[in-house]
Amino acid sequence: MESTFYNYLKKKVLVKSEHLPLLAREVSKKMLSKGDLLLTEGQVCKNMFFVEQGLLRLYSIDEEGREHIIQFAPENWFMSERGSLYFGSPSVFFIDALEDTKAVVFDQQFVDRASEISPEYRTYNEYILQNHIRQMQKRINLLIGATAEKRYLEFIKLYPDLAMRIPQWMIASYLGITPESLSRVRRGLTQK
Amino acid sequence: MESTFYNYLKKKVLVKSEHLPLLAREVSKKMLSKGDLLLTEGQVCKNMFFVEQGLLRLYSIDEEGREHIIQFAPENWFMSERGSLYFGSPSVFFIDALEDTKAVVFDQQFVDRASEISPEYRTYNEYILQNHIRQMQKRINLLIGATAEKRYLEFIKLYPDLAMRIPQWMIASYLGITPESLSRVRRGLTQK
DNA sequence: CGCGTGATTGAAACCCTTCAAGTTTAGTGG
DNA sequence: CCACTAAACTTGAAGGGTTTCAATCACGCG
């Protein structure tokens, strides 16, 4: 019961102690192994994951078989394909585990009920959505306006810890360039 | 009182008739001329706009003075710099009017109060946020994974009406390419 | 009409990708 | 713990796509 998730609900989401037991019933915990696939293209996403330990990834695969990474979720982040979860439409994305991962699993019903039971949860849920939008806006702005080098620098500034945990080609995939290009960008930077 | 906005609240947001008068007090209507600047870089965004008629634009300007368009808002869309509005931080983006525009203006307080008064409004507000996230995810996926041609085709498929109302160089700006490139992409397409 | 804005086109430069090879690193099994 | 293998990273050369810069054309508006 004294899990990372409940600490998070208490300390960060500020859910009142009396509400916690009510929320407890609705979630389950899952141990995932590196490489485990949690959501496939075409499937309707039913779950939301809270990462207690480890790392999850949301990505697409195009016609040529290339992976494009939409999002990472390290510790204390929520991961889901919201488009599919909320709207019930088939997902065009995949979710898998990049490391052995301890995650709390719940569904949209949990979010809805938690929002009814706890106003604090509702508030925090909106905060998460707003924050997500802000972050994506920033990313779009970089993708349409900045060079590969600047995008890379922004990435390691924003997620210095992440950059150490994932292979370089995944950073490249996140930035929208090839691994070779990223390698050259990095060489260019060290020569300064 | 029988404005597009109230019709929208009634028909689309499904706000109950009895709640409408309560919401009425909190908003004002504004007539904007083409070119009017509604938000500047550095400024904290205080307003949210509902476009009844016309067209708004959210964009950034980089160090070289180039504009990068983040979002358009035609009729029946909400426009704001959410990051700045919700978090109270200075905006890195601009908002202006691309056409003479009739817009309803309100603030975050309105959204919060409306959510308290009308559960339907709250529900719809979350819908808006989720939809925004879904749309941005799709756009990011295209930006990191698709060619300029494919991005252009997706754009005119998604917003055929918009494509007729804005100059081509703005589409290019939205897609993250130069006007010249878009011109060549289009030539390539007509030759098929 | 003339001016300004937007669209098109060409040529050269540039950045990024592709393909191929070689090197380094990490993980696995003997 | 070493040896081996696969994965990841680097590097080079060639090619492709996009940008840049400049010039021209088309159009609408004062």
Return the residue of A nearest to B139 by Cα. A140
CB-CB neighbors (< 8 A) of A92 in chain B = 138, 141
* pLDDT per position as a tens digit, A86-117: 999 999 999 999 999 999 999 999 999 999 99
- What's the CA gap between A144 and A5, in Å, rounded? 36
Strand order in the sheet with A94-97: A37-39, A94-97, A56-61, A67-73
Q: How much is the pLDDT for B2?
A: 61
- CA B49 to CA B111: how far, in whole Å? 12
Give the span between the Cα atoms of A102 and A28, in whole angstroms.
Answer: 11
Coil vs helix vs strand at A26: coil
Any atom of strand D under 7 A from CB of B122?
no
Can you state the angle between helices B148-158 and B179-190, rounded to 10 degrees? Answer: 80
Domain layout of chain A by residue ranges: 4-118
Q: Give the model's pLDDT for residue A145.
A: 94
pLDDT of residue B190: 87
Q: Which residue of A has its CA nearest to B62?
A: A145
Mark yes or no for CB contact A92/B141 under 8 Å.
Answer: yes
Cβ neighbours of A130 in B, within 8 Å: 82-83, 86-87, 129
B182 touches strand C (CB under 7 A): yes
Number of H helices, E strands in chain B: 9, 8
B64/D29 CA-to-C1' distance in Å: 30
Task: Say whether the CB atom of A180 is under 7 angstroms from strand D.
Answer: yes
Task: Write out pLDDT tens, residues A118-144.
Answer: 999 999 999 999 999 999 999 999 999
Q: What 3-state DSSP class applies to B55?
A: coil
Residue pair B149/B156 in contact (Cβ under 8 Å)? The answer is: no
pLDDT tens digits in sequence order for chain B, 192 residues long: 568 899 999 999 999 999 988 887 788 999 999 999 999 999 999 999 999 999 999 999 998 899 999 999 999 999 999 999 999 999 999 999 999 999 999 999 999 999 999 999 999 999 999 999 999 999 999 999 999 999 999 999 999 999 999 999 999 999 999 999 999 999 999 876
| Residues in chain A whose Cβ is within 8 Å of chain B | 60, 62, 66, 68-70, 82-83, 86-87, 92-93, 126, 129-134, 136-141, 143-146, 173-176
pLDDT of residue B59: 97
Q: State the pLDDT at residue B192.
A: 67
Nucleotide with smallest C1' distance to residue B176 CA: D18
State the pLDDT at residue B21: 86
Which two three-digit tokens encode residue A128? 């998460």
Mean pLDDT of chain A: 94
Q: How far is the CA of A70 from the C1' of D8 (A)?
A: 21
Q: For B164-184, how does the pLDDT look when each residue is reduced to its tens digit (9 = 90+)? A: 999 999 999 999 999 999 999
Q: Is the pLDDT of residue A47 over 70?
A: yes
B61 phi and psi angles, rounded to 5 deg: -125, 125
Give the pLDDT band (50/70/90) at residue A1.
Answer: low
Query: Which chain A residues contact residue B140 at CB under 8 A?
Result: 70, 136, 139-140, 143
More confident residue, A2 or B151: B151
Instruction: Answer yes or no: do A126 and B129 touch at CB < 8 A.
Output: yes
Contact A143 B141 (CB under 8 A): no
- Strand boundaries in chain A, DSSP class E: 28-32, 37-39, 48-53, 56-61, 67-73, 78-79, 94-97, 101-106
Q: Which residues contact A160 (CB under 8 A, 6 or more apart)?
A: none
Whether residue A130 and residue B86 make contact (CB cut-off 8 A), yes or no, is yes
- Residues 6+ away with beta carbon under 8 Å from A154: A142, A146
Chain A nearest C-alpha distance from B154 (Å): 15
What 3-state class would DSSP assign to B174? helix
| Cα(A108)–Cα(A98) distance, integer angstroms | 24
Which residue in A60, A11, A52, A12 sits closest to A30, CA to CA? Answer: A52
- Å from A89 to nearest chain B CA? 11
Q: What is the pLDDT of residue A57?
A: 97
**CATH classification code of B4-117:** 2.60.120.10
pLDDT bucket at A40, cuts 50 / 70 / 90: very high
Of all residues in chain A, the percent with pLDDT exceeding 90 is 86
CA atoms within 13 A on the CB side of A20: 16
From the CA of A164, how many Å to the C1' of D2?
28
CATH topology assigned to domain A4-118: Jelly Rolls (2.60.120)
State the best of B140, B154, B155 to mutate against chain A, taking most chain A CBs within 10 Å. B140
Q: Is the CB of A82 less than 8 angstroms away from the CB of B139?
A: no
B166, B55 contact by CB (below 8 A)? yes
Number of inter-chain CB pairs under 8 A, A vs B:
98
